[in-house]
Amino acid sequence: MTASILITGCSSGIGYHCAAELNKLGYNVIASCRQLHDVERLNNQGINCIQLDLSCSKSIDRGLKQALVLANGQLDMLFNNAAYGQPGALEDLPTDALRAQFEANFFGWHQLTRAVIPLMLQQGHGKIIQNSSVLGLVAMKYRGAYNASKFAIEGYTDTLRLELDNTPLSISLIEPGPIESHFRQNAKHQFEQHIDIKNSRHQDAYQQTLHRLGTANPNNKFTLGPDAVFKQVLAIINSKHPKARYYVTQPTYIFGFLRRILPTKWLDKLLIKSN
């Protein structure tokens, strides 16, 4: 039987690339998107796609039911990928904006994962892949909401790995640095929607943030295409015993190493300069 995999956040970027490539390889891919027009676009391309909004509990339940029909009742893998970034200094961030960040980047993942685990346990196998970030390892200024959501995913996944130790299920983290996607455009929209730039003490720094988020092609030699993440997804799929963590891009390797060896003050200085 062809292995089935549910992938969230497939309208563009990492999710779309992984869904398209796995579909080409013959996997039973069930992609999901938040917007109906994206669902229709992927279905027209021959990729099974359902509508699933991770910030809506009813949408998650409805989407999973549809996914299980397309997977003939057996879901071999779940790739939690859908997320967005809410930029801005934490002191300027409305609490509702932080709640929305966690609904999409954390609580929605939990609801979907919690619903999938009993199914995987009943069938006797299953793999869960969590797309985290280098910002789940180290923090950077003006990314506090996203930092917090990814730090939460790191702790959540580490705990769940321990709790699944005596089962046939595995859970792995993928931790990318900068990847080509629509992430910046989406983050710019959230920034302009929730942050009062003119009345912030950070307004000068915010101009740099707007410039960075408005740049279609970042001038960053470390930025890789989504294929770099796909290679790690494929490594997990093909492994009998997947690792706990898979780093992607040079910044993740660098900061993952520096976090272990440097005093906090030294690491802070590097992170401030790299912002």
Residues annotated as part of the active site: 146
- Count of CB atoms situated within 10 Å of the CB of 168: 12
Structure-token match 């985290």, residue found: 132
> Which ranges of 11-123 does DSSP label H, i.e. alpha helix?
13-24, 36-44, 57-70, 95-102, 108-123
Spatial neighbors of 219 by CB under 8 A, at least 6 apart, are none
- For β-strands 126-131 and 77-80, DSSP reports them as parallel
Spatial neighbors of 98 by CB under 8 A, at least 6 apart, are 86, 145, 148
Spatial neighbors of 70 by CB under 8 A, at least 6 apart, are 4, 28, 30, 48, 50
